[in-house]
Amino acid sequence: MAPASDLIVFTALCAGLGSAAWIDIRHRRIPNVICLATAATGLALSTTGLSSVTVISALAGLAIGLAIMLPGHIIGATGAGDVKLFAAAGALLGSGRVVPAFVFVAIAGGILALAVAFHRGRLLRTMVNTTALIGRPAAVKAAIEAPGEHNRFPYGPAIAIGCALAAWR
The predicted structure's pLDDT at residue 45: 97
- In whole angstroms, give the CA distance from residue 115 to residue 98: 25
- In whole angstroms, give the CA distance from residue 114 to residue 120: 10
Identity of the amino acid at 108:
A
Predicted confidence band of residue 120 (pLDDT cuts 50, 70, 90): confident
Lowest-confidence segment of 18-22, 46-50, 74-78, 90-94 by average pLDDT:
74-78
Q: Helix 95-119 vs helix 80-93: angle between axes, to the nearest 10 degrees?
A: 140
8 A C-beta contact, residue 34 and residue 24: no
- In whole angstroms, give the CA distance from residue 98 to residue 169: 12
- The pTM (predicted TM-score) of the whole model is 0.85
- In whole angstroms, give the CA distance from residue 80 to residue 77: 10
The predicted structure's pLDDT at residue 1: 41
pLDDT of residue 149 exceeding 80, the answer is: no
What pLDDT, in 10s, does the model give residues 28-54?
Answer: 999 999 999 999 999 999 999 999 999
H or E element, residue 117 = helix 95-119
Average pLDDT score over the chain? 88
Identity of the amino acid at 44:
A
Which residues contact residue 40 at a Cβ distance below 8 angstroms, ignoring those fewer than 6 apart?
91
The predicted structure's pLDDT at residue 123: 79
User: What are the φ/ψ torsions at residue 22 (nearest 5 degrees)?
Assistant: -60, -45
Burial label for 160, CB within 10 Å (0-12, 13-18, 19+), is: buried
pLDDT above 90 covers a percentage of the chain that reads: 67
> Within a 13 Å sphere around the CA of 155, how many CA atoms are in the beta-carbon half?
24
The predicted structure's pLDDT at residue 122: 80
Which residues contact residue 22 at a Cβ distance below 8 angstroms, ignoring those fewer than 6 apart?
156
